């Protein structure tokens, strides 16, 4: 055997041994990987293809009493690009452009530096579907629910708003935030090499959806109230205006309007517009407050309906101050006449018979200087000095609604107590909470009316209703009359305090009217407030006509039976 043959055999042996060793090494490696690294690799693979994702729930809807959607949530998308995955940028650009999404040229340099570059926000699902259908690499989508108010500024202060994270921060959105929000659910998804979901564990969507909230608000009544109040608000160039409509038997609020208002879908630039004047603003009620003194005096048998009072010929000096009557009455007048003509002097003399402590007690009984507990955030308590700190002017001025601060909701609640035979009810907006069909009017989660307390007897309440009816029939409330129905109510024209002088202004007033229909067996109570009306400030010419316009449409809509006109 030649030397060359030996070398060839040696090389072959070396090659064979090398290959054998290599395969042996691979075999050992395979055993090591399969047996010793199996668990580790399996976990790595799972992390790559199986993801735990949080399913964010769809926020529940807010509905009116008839199931009309007032607030809902719709899915919006953010479209982003990943430059590392894009094969043909021009194709991506054209597809996006064909779907109404334009990429700005100055964004190109930034796009090259990142794998996540958002190019469109709040995109509708139909556009996203159009882009997805082309199945291009490098285009990603992120979904998020966005709150939507289909009727714009309608009922804005009651509904409220949510923040950028979808949490309620005003109105019913805040009150019911927890039940509207629902609970997030963890789900598992599998993805292929391109990141596409190829398996999605079945989810019961009802479990990741917030509960619906149905209100006592009737959209049609709210529409009537908003339309008529807005007319007056602009006509009189008012600073603010309020309307509340309530069912006195249950306390249910059927409509609540505060102007100026806002569109909850728009960006709020001035947070002052979020203030709900109906529950948060404090004002001096003026003559609408006179029913408290009269009701208390009648309930305590301090006065009688047949009793006459000397009205000082329209000028009454108390503690160095002169109290005047706008509607001067010569000589004596009955309790009926005092209310009809809204005599301040007459009310003072009635309240003097009642006494400060008794009067204070009934102010509190009617719910003033207390939170009503309505299901809205931001309610004010009002202003009332402790009775032991009253001076010689406190009793007389508070009797006709000066020197006390109240809210619109407190005033209508007091009138509703008179309408409800002397029982004060807790005002409430929420009818039910639960995922019922939008057309249903019943739910196992219906909230029941709450009786707060009896304020006066049935007999006293009936007497007050008759006095309020006479006020509309023969007195300062004549402009509140509506055809085929009796109306009971009271006007209020209150001077405002000038912040600069700390004295009562001769220019700025609050005109208000609170009334009930039908007068003797009320089904609804309506309050109108016009703050600082321009040129004409008397309640009988500013607030009462607005009441009449709203009332006549409301009673027809509610199909309230016409009553006998005496």
- pLDDT tens by residue, 99-108: 777 776 555 5
Are the beta carbons of 311 and 345 closer than 8 angstroms?
A: yes
Give the number of other CB atoms < 10 A from CB of residue 387.
17
pLDDT category at 457 given cuts 50, 70, 90 is very high
Rg (CA), the chain: 36
In angstroms, the CA 565 to CA 481 distance is 11
Collapsed DSSP state (helix, strand, coil) of residue 69: strand
Distance, first Cα to last Cα, the chain: 144
pLDDT at 411: 98
User: Which residues touch 376 (CB under 8 Å, ≥6 apart)?
Assistant: 158, 171, 172, 175, 276, 279, 429
Cα–chain center distance at 408: 16
Q: Which of 52-56, 115-119, 160-164 is the most confident on average?
A: 160-164
| Position 343 pLDDT exceeds 60 | yes
Q: How confident is the model at residue 442 (pLDDT cuts 50, 70, 90)?
A: very low
Residues 121-141 have a mean pLDDT of 78
Query: Residue 564: pLDDT band by 50, 70, 90 thresholds?
Result: low
pLDDT tier, 42 (very low <50, low <70, confident <90, very high otherwise): low
How confident is the model over 199-204, as a mean pLDDT? 52
pLDDT higher than 70, residue 36? no
Q: Mean pLDDT of all residues in the chain?
A: 86
What are the C-alpha distances in Å from 325 to residues 199, 350, 427, 529?
81, 15, 34, 22
Which of 11, 372, 420, 373 has the alpha carbon at shortest distance from 175? 373
Tell whether the model's pLDDT for residue 421 goes beyond 90: yes
Nearest-5° Cα angle at 443, 440 to 449: 115
pLDDT at 197 over 60: no
Q: What is the pLDDT of residue 399?
A: 95
**What local confidence, expressed as pLDDT, does residue 104 receive?**
66
Please give the pLDDT value at position 107.
56
pLDDT at 438: 46
| Mean pLDDT computed over 198-210 | 58
Residue 171 has pLDDT above 60, yes or no: yes
Q: What is the mean pLDDT of residues 147-152?
A: 91
pLDDT digits (tens, 9 = 90+) for 524-540: 999 999 999 998 889 99
Q: Do the bridges between strand 213-215 and strand 62-63 make them parallel or antiparallel, or are there none, so unpaired?
A: parallel
pLDDT at 439: 42
125-to-69, 74, 93, 142 alpha-carbon distances in Å = 20, 9, 19, 11
Alpha-carbon distance of 214 to 251, in angstroms, equals 16
- Cα separation, 67 vs 54, in Å, equals 30
Phi-psi region of 155 (alpha: psi -120 to 50; beta: other; left: phi over 0): left
Give the C-alpha separation, 356 to 207, whole Å. Answer: 58
Interatomic CA distance for residues 313 and 331, integer angstroms = 6
The span from the CA of 450 to the CA of 158, in Å, is 20
Mean predicted confidence (pLDDT) in 157-176: 92
Residues of the chain with pLDDT > 70, as a percent, come to 84
pLDDT score of 265: 85
Over residues 17-40, mean pLDDT? 71
Domains in the chain, please, with CATH?
Answer: 219-429+442-557 (3.40.710.10)
In this predicted structure, the answer to whether residue 249 has a pLDDT above a threshold of 80 is: yes
Q: CA nearest 511: which of 492, 525, 524? A: 492
Which bin fits 421, alpha (ψ -120 to 50), beta or left (φ > 0)?
Answer: left
H helix or E strand, kind and range, residue 9: helix 3-31
Closest among 513, 464, 474, 479 to 493, alpha carbons compared = 513
Q: For a pLDDT cut of 90, what percent of the chain falls above it?
A: 57
Coil vs helix vs strand at 124: coil
What per-residue string of b and e applies to 532-562 under the rule 16 or more CB within 10 Å gives b?
bbeeebbbbebbbbbbbbbbbbbbeebebee
Residue 157 predicted with pLDDT over 90: yes
pTM of the model: 0.84
Per-residue pLDDT tens over the stretch 3-24: 666 666 677 777 777 777 777 7
H or E element: which one contains 10?
helix 3-31
Sign, CA dihedral 255-259-265-269, equals negative
| Dist CA 180 CA 173 (whole Å) | 8
In contact, 540 and 479? CB cutoff 8 Å: yes
DSSP-derived letter for residue 349 is H
Kindly report whether the peptide bond that precedes residue 166 is cis, defined as omega within 30 degrees of 0: no
260 upstream amide cis, omega within 30 of 0:
yes
Chain CA centroid to CA 329, Å: 45
- Is there a contact between 515 and 477 (Cβ–Cβ < 8 Å)? yes
pLDDT for res 474: 93
C-alpha distances (whole Å) from 351 to each of 215, 300, 493 are 40, 11, 20
Question: What was the pLDDT predicted at 565?
Answer: 59
The model's pLDDT over 295-305, given as tens digits with 9 standing for 90+, comes to: 999 999 999 98
Of 443, 367, 361, whose CA–CA distance to 411 is shortest?
367
* pLDDT one-digit tens code per residue, 539-549: 999 999 999 99
Say what the pLDDT of residue 1 is.
58
């Amino acid at each position: 055997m030649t030397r060359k043959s030996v070398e060839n055999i040696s090389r072959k042996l070396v090659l064979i041994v090398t290959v054998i060793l290599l395969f042996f090494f691979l075999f050992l490696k395979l055993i090591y990987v399969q047996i010793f690294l199996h668990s580790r690799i399996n976990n790595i693979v799972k992390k790559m293809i199986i993801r735990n994702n949080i399913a964010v729930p769809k926020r529940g809807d807010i509905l009116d009493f008839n199931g009309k959607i007032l607030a809902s949530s719709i899915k919006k998308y953010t479209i982003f690009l990943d430059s590392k995955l894009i094969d043909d940028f021009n194709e991506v650009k054209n597809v996006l452009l064909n779907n109404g999404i334009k990429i700005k040229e100055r964004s190109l340099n930034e796009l090259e530096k990142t794998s996540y570059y958002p190019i469109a926000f709040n995109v509708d699902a139909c556009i996203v579907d159009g882009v997805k259908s082309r199945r291009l690499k490098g285009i990603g989508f992120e979904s998020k629910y966005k709150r939507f108010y289909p009727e714009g500024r309608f009922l804005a202060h009651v509904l409220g708003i949510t923040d950028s994270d979808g949490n309620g921060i005003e109105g019913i959105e805040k009150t019911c935030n927890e039940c509207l929000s629902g609970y997030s659910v963890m789900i598992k998804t599998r993805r292929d090499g391109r990141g596409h979901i190829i398996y999605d564990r079945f989810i019961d969507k009802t479990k990741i959806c917030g509960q619906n909230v149905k209100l006592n608000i009737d959209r049609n009544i709210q529409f009537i109230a908003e339309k008529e109040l807005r007319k007056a608000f602009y006509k009189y160039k008012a600073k603010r205006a309020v309307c509340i409509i309530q069912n006195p038997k249950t306390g249910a609020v059927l409509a609540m309007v505060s102007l100026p208002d806002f569109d909850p879908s728009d960006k709020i630039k001035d947070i002052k517009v979020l203030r709900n004047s109906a529950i948060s603003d404090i004002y001096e009620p003026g003559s609408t407050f006179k029913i408290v003194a009269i009701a208390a005096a009648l309930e305590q048998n301090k006065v009688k309906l047949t009793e006459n009072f000397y009205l000082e010929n329209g000028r009454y000096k108390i503690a160095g101050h002169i109290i005047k009557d706008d509607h001067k009455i010569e000589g004596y007048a009955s309790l009926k006449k005092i209310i009809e003509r809204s005599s301040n002097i007459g009310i003072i003399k009635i309240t003097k018979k009642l006494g400060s402590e008794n009067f204070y007690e009934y102010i509190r009984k009617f719910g003033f200087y207390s939170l009503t507990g309505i299901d809205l955030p931001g309610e004010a308590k009002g202003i009332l000095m402790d009775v032991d700190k009253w001076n010689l002017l406190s009793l007389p001025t508070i009797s006709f609604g000066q020197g006390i601060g109240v809210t619109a909701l407190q005033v209508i609640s007091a009138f509703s107590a008179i309408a409800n035979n002397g029982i004060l009810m807790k005002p409430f907006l929420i009818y039910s909470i639960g995922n019922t069909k939008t057309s249903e009017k019943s739910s196992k989660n219906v909230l029941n009316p709450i009786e707060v307390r009896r304020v006066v007897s049935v007999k006293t309440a009936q007497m007050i209703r008759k006095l309020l009816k006479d006020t509309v029939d023969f007195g300062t409330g004549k402009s509140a009359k509506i055809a085929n129905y009796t109306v009971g109510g009271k006007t209020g024209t209150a001077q405002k305090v000038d912040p600069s002088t700390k004295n009562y202004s001769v220019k700025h007033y609050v005109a208000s009217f609170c009334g009930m229909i039908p007068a003797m067996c009320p089904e609804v109570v309506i309050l109108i407030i016009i703050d600082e009306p321009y040129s004409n400030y008397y309640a009988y010419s500013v607030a009462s006509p607005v009441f009449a316009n709203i009332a006549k449409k409301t009673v027809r809509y509610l199909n309230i039976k016409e009553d006998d006109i005496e």
